[in-house]
Chains A and B, each alone.
Chain A
C-alpha cells in the first residue's frame, strides 16, 4: 500500500498506485484541513496527483526526490 492514513495526515510511501487514488479521494472528502507527507514518496500515479491538486491538503513534507519535488511544487504550490 503506497498510502498510509493517519488521524489527519496522509503519508505517501514509495509509489502510490492508480487504485490508491480512489481511497485517497474518499479520505480527503471526509477531512478538512488534511495534511500530506510526501517525503518518502518516489512516485505517485497521475490520478493521485490530481486528487491532491483538487483537495489542496497542506503539504507537510515534500518528496526527497528533487525532480519529483519540482514537478509537485509546480502543481501543489500554485493552487
Chain B
C-alpha cells in the first residue's frame, strides 16, 4: 500500500471518530454553531482527502454529507436526530470502505448502489430548491417512483423494443439471467467533466437493446448548445446489477436500474384487425389446457400461426404463446392469460403477484430493499415458499430434480429394484429439502418413504411430493396449483413504511464489527513510562555482576558466581532487545521534518526571485521522536540561510557559469548510532575573509585571532552568537540569530553541527545527532573518592601524565600532549572539593582529555573507571537548579551516579 493511502486511511479513521463524537455532542446541544462548524470542517476535509484516491463512492457520499452540513450550518435545513442518523449511517459506510481499501487496496464495484442510496438519504433533508443546485442529477419526478420498482416495469416503454429482442431476452431470463432496464440520464454538464456518456452507454455489458432519446424537444438549431447534454440512454441488459454498477460506478446517481420480470416482456404487438376466426381456437386451447395436453396445444398454435399474417397482433400473441409453451417454465395461469388475451385482443395484464412470483423478480433481492424483509418472513411458512429465497438457477434446478423424481415414481412397472428406486428418489428429495432449508419436512418424507417401501409402490412418495412441492404440479393440474402457492406479500407494504425505520443496514454498525486497526495511537506518557521501566530493568540487571562478584569474593562460591554470570548474559540479551524494541516505538522517519520543506523552499525562493530545486534524500532514516522534533527549527534556519545567503539569483548564477536553477539538497543518513543530516547548496559559498572581518568588527575575535585563524575556523564563526553577514536584515534571515540558534538547538540534544564551504561552489552544513537520547554512554571517573559520569561523546582520550610533565603557566596548569598544549584543570577544584588530585604509584596523574567546542582540555581526576550505558534522568526538583550536573543515573550496586555537565563547570 502506498504511504499516501496509508496516511489517508489512518486520518480518515480519526476523522470518522471525530465526526461521530461531534454528532454525539450535537445531540445534546443541537444549536451549538461551533460544533456544527467543526462537523462541517471534518466532513469537508475528509471529502477533500478522499478525492485524491480513486474512490468515487466514498467521495460522493461525503460530498452529499458536506452539502447537508453546509445546509444545516446556514440554517437552510434543520438539525434533527434522523439527519444525524443518516450522517452516521453514511460515515459507517465510509468506514467500511476504508476497511476494504486497507484490506484490498481498492474498492469493489458493488458499493455504487449503496452509495447512491446514502446520497439520496443525505440529500433528502436539504430543501428542494438548493437541492437542485447542489445535485442536479436525481430527477425529481423519478424519485417517488423508486420504491415501487418491481411494478415499474409496467410503466416502462418495453413495447418499444422489437418483439424478437424481447423474445430473446425472455429466453435468457428463463435461463436464469436477470434482466434490467437501464435508464441513464447524464448530467447536463457532463461534457465539461470529460465524460462521454455515449461511450459509457456503448460499453454496457450484455446489452440486448438500446435506445437514445432527447429529454426535451430540440430547440431551433441556432440556439442549440452542443455542450449541454440533453440525451438520455435506455437499454435492456442481461448483465447482473453488480456488473452494471461497476460499469456506471462514476455516475451511479444518474443511472436508474429497474429489474424486469420476464413476464413484463410478454407484450403482443401488431395490427389488431383481421385474421381468421379465433373463438374456436381459444375454446380448443382451453380444453387442451384443462386436459394438460400441452403438446396438442403446441400443435394447434403452430398451425394457427401459419394461417395468420405475421404482422397481426394475434400472430404476435400466438408467437408468445408458442415461446412460453416451448420453454415451459410458466405456470398454468400464464398460459390461461395468454389464451384469454387471444380472445379479448387486449394485452395480458400481468398481476403484480404473478410478476413477483416469477423467479427473475424474486431473485433480485437488492432491487427492492423494502420488499425483502416481508418476503423472507413469508418464505418460512411452507417449504414450497422457500424457493423464493433461491436464485433462479437454483429454483430451476430444484424444480427439475423434483420433476424427475416424480417421473421415476410414477413408473407403473414393478421391477426387482423397485425398493432401490424408491430409496434413491427419497434421497434426492431429502437433498432438495436440505437445499431449501426445510428440515421440518424431512420427517414426513421418511414416513412417506417407509410406507412406499412397504407398499412396493411410488404412490405414497408421489402424494408427499404433491403436498410439499405443490407449485411444480401446477402445469399438470392447472390453476389449482396457483392456489396452493403461498400468496406473495403486497409489494408496496414496505414502501409505505416511514423512512428511517428500516434504513439501509450494512451490518457494520459500530457494535457489529470492531475494526482492528494495525497502528495504535499511544499517549507518549505511556511510552515514556515503558522507557523508565526498562531503565530500571537495566539497573537491576547491572546489579547481577556485583552479586556474582560478592558470591565469589565474600562467600567463595565460584560456581554460583559463574552461574549468576551466565544468567546475567541471558537477561542482558533480553533487556537489550527489549530496550531496542521500545526505542523502535519512539522512532520516527526524518521525512516527518522533511515534508514541510518543498512548500517552504518554493515559497521562499519565489519571494527572493530565485530558482531552486530541492532534493530530499533518506527521508526514511529513523531517529527518536525527541531528536526528530528538535531537528525541525534548526533545519528551517539552515535552509533559509542557504536560500537567502547561499543560492544566488538566476542572473548571478548564469554570470558565474552555473545553471540558473540552484540545487538544495537535504540528505539524512545513519552513521552507526548517529543520524547525520546534510544540507548542501551549490550557491556562492562563504567567503572566509568577509567572515573574519565581520567577526572582528563585531568584537567576536581579536586581532591576533584574526591573523591566525584558518579559513575553516573562520567559516565556523558563523555559529558564534550575534553573527550575521548580510547587510540588510530581511524577514528571512540576517538578524544574527540564525546559526547561533541552530548550534544551541542541536547541542541541546547532544548533537553537533559543522559547516564546510568553498567559495563560489556552495556550502554544506552537517548535523550529527544521536539516534536516541534515552541511553547515554558515559565514562566513569573517580575523584576524591566519588564517582562521576562524563558523556562519552565529550571524551577525546584518557592519558596518564607524569607530574613532572605538568607545567604551570601563571596560575594555570598545562601539559604538552601530542605536540599540542592542553590546558589542565583539576576536577576537584572545579567542583569545589578541597582534595588534591591523587597520582598513581608511578607518580602519574590521570588526565581525561575532553572536547569543548573546538578546544581540548584535560581534566585531572584520580582514576578512570569503566564506560557504561545509562539512562540519564535529568535533575528534578531542588536539584534542577544545579547546572553543573546533566543528570543522574542509578548504578547496578544501588549507588547514584551524577553525570557532569562539562560545559557548565568549565
Give chain A residues whose Cβ lies under 8 Å from the Cβ of B213. Answer: 75, 78
Across-interface contacts of A54 in B (CB, < 8 A): 214, 218-219, 221, 224
Instruction: Among A29, A48, A72, A75, find the residue whose CB has the most chain B CB atoms closer than 10 A.
Output: A75
Task: Say which residue of A29, A46, A75 sits within 8 Å of B197 (CB atoms).
Answer: A46
Question: Is B198 positioned at the interface, with any CB of A under 8 Å from its CB?
Answer: yes
Chain A: number of interface residues, binned into ranges: 20 to 34
A47 adjacent to chain B (CB < 8 Å): yes
Check if A60 is an interface residue, CB within 8 A of chain B. Answer: no
Q: Contact check, B214 vs A50: say whether CB atoms are below 8 A apart.
A: yes
Q: Which residues of B contact A43 (CB under 8 A)?
A: 198-199, 202
Residues of chain B with a CB closer than 8 A to A29's CB = 221-222
A3, chain B: closest CB distance, angstroms: 13
**Alpha-carbon gap, A9 to B509, bound state (A):** 62
Residues on the A chain within 8 Å of B186, using CB: 46
A30 to chain B, nearest CB (A): 10
B202 close to A49 (CB less than 8 A): no
Residues of A contacting B224 in the complex (Cβ-Cβ under 8 angstroms): 25, 51, 54-55
The verdict on A11 contacting chain B, using a C-beta distance below 8 Å, is: no
The closest CB in chain B to the CB of A24 belongs to: B226
In the docked arrangement, what's the CA distance between A25 and B218, Å? 13
Q: Does the CB pair B212–A74 fall under 8 Å?
A: yes
B window 158-216: CB within 8 A of A: 186, 190-191, 196-199, 201-202, 207, 210-214
Asked if A45 and B212 make an inter-chain contact with CB atoms under 8 angstroms apart, the answer reads: no
A45-B198 CB under 8 A given contacts A21-B226, A74-B210, A75-B211: yes
From the candidates B196, B218, B219, B231, name the one contacting A18 in the complex (CB within 8 A).
Answer: B196
Chain B residues contacting A46 (CB-CB under 8 Å) are 186, 190-191, 196-199, 229, 231
Contacting residue for A70 out of B210, B221, B229, CB 8 A: B210
Given contacts A45-B198, A68-B202, contact A53 B226 (CB under 8 A): no
**B227:A44 contact, CB within 8 angstroms:** no
Query: Which residues on A sit within 8 Å (CB–CB) of B211?
Result: 74-75
How long is the Cα–Cα vector from A68 to B207 in the complex, in angstroms? 12
Closest beta carbon of chain B to A2's beta carbon, Å:
13
Contacts of A25 in B (CB 8 A): 221, 224, 226
Pairwise interchain contact B198-A53, C-beta atoms closer than 8 A: no
Select one of B191, B212, B221, B222 contacting A47, CB under 8 A. B191
CB neighbours (8 Å) of B218 from chain A are: 53-54
How far is it, in angstroms, between the C-alpha of A54 and the C-alpha of B226 when the chains are bound? 9
Q: Does B230 contact A (CB under 8 A)?
A: yes
Task: For A45, give its contact among B196, B201, B207, B230 (CB under 8 Å).
Answer: B196
Which one of A29, A49, A54, A68 has the highest number of Cβ atoms from chain B below 10 Å of its Cβ?
A54
**A75 x B202 contact (CB < 8 A):** no
- CA gap between A48 and B222 in the complex, in Å: 15
> Are the C-beta atoms of B221 and A49 separated by less than 8 Å?
no
B742 to chain A, nearest CB (A): 56
Q: Which residues of A contact B201 (CB under 8 A)?
A: 71
CA distance A75 to B231 in the complex (A): 10
Count chain A CB atoms within 10 A of each CB in B186, B218, B230 and give the residue with the most.
B218
* A78 partner residues in chain B, CB cutoff 8 A: 213
**Interface residue tally of chain B, by bracket?**
20 to 34
Instruction: Give B831 Cβ to nearest chain A Cβ, in Å.
Output: 85
Q: How far is the CB of A43 from chain B (nearest CB, A)?
A: 6
Return the chain B residue nearest A49 by Cβ. B198
Report, nearest first, the 10 A-B pairs whose CB atoms are least far apart. A75-B212, A46-B198, A54-B218, A74-B211, A21-B226, A25-B226, A46-B197, A47-B226, A54-B224, A51-B226
Cα distance, A68 to B227, chains bound together (Å): 21
- Interface residues as binary, B357-374 with A (CB distance below 8 Å gives 1, 0 otherwise): 000000000000000000
Cα–Cα distance between A5 and B198 once the two chains are bound (Å) = 23
> Are B231 and A50 within 8 A (Cβ)?
yes
Which A residues are in CB contact (< 8 Å) with B207?
67
Instruction: Give chain A residues whose Cβ lies under 8 Å from the Cβ of B190.
Output: 46
**Beyond known contacts A25-B226, A55-B224: 10 more, CB 8 A cutoff:** A18-B196, A28-B221, A49-B212, A49-B231, A54-B219, A68-B202, A71-B210, A74-B212, A75-B231, A79-B214
For A4, list chain B residues within 8 Å (CB): none
Q: Can you give 8 contacting A-B residue pairs, CB < 8 Å? A: A22-B226, A24-B226, A45-B191, A45-B198, A46-B186, A53-B212, A53-B214, A54-B221
In the complex, the chain B residue whose C-beta lies closest to that of A44 is: B198
Closest partner residue, chain A, to B222 (CB atom): A29
Q: Contact between A71 and B196 (Cβ–Cβ < 8 Å)?
A: no
Give Cα A29 to B221, complex, Å.
6
Q: How far is the CA of A71 from the CA of B213 in the complex (A)?
A: 10
Which B residues are in CB contact (< 8 Å) with A48? 226
Do A45 and B199 form a contact, CB below 8 Å, given A71-B210, A74-B211, A75-B212? yes
- Residue picked from B186, B198, B214, B222, most chain A C-beta under 10 Å: B198
Closest to A31 in B: B221
Chain A 1-39 against B: per-residue CB contact (8 Å), 1 yes, 0 no? 000000000000000001001101100110000000000
Closest to B229 in A: A46
A23 to chain B, nearest CB (A): 9
Residues in B neighbouring A79, C-beta threshold 8 A: 214
CB distance from B184 to the nearest CB of A (A): 11
With A74-B210, A75-B213 as known contacts, state yes or no: A21 contacts B227, CB within 8 Å.
yes
CA distance A70 to B198 in the complex (A): 13
Contact of A50 with B230 at beta-carbon distance under 8 Å, contacts A18-B196, A29-B221, A68-B202 already known: yes
CB A56 to nearest CB in B, in angstroms, measures: 8
Q: Which residues of A contact B210 (CB under 8 A)?
A: 67, 70-71, 74
Closest to A74 in B: B211
How far is B221's CA from A25's CA once the two chains are assembled, in angstroms? 8
With both beta carbons as reference points, the residue of chain B lying nearest to A48 in the complex is identified as B226
Assembly CA distance A19 to B50 (angstroms): 31
What does the 1/0 interface line of B576-599 toward A look like (CB < 8 Å)?
A: 000000000000000000000000
| Set of chain B residues within 8 Å of A74, measured between Cβ atoms | 210-212
B200 to chain A, nearest CB (A): 9
| A70 partner residues in chain B, CB cutoff 8 A | 210
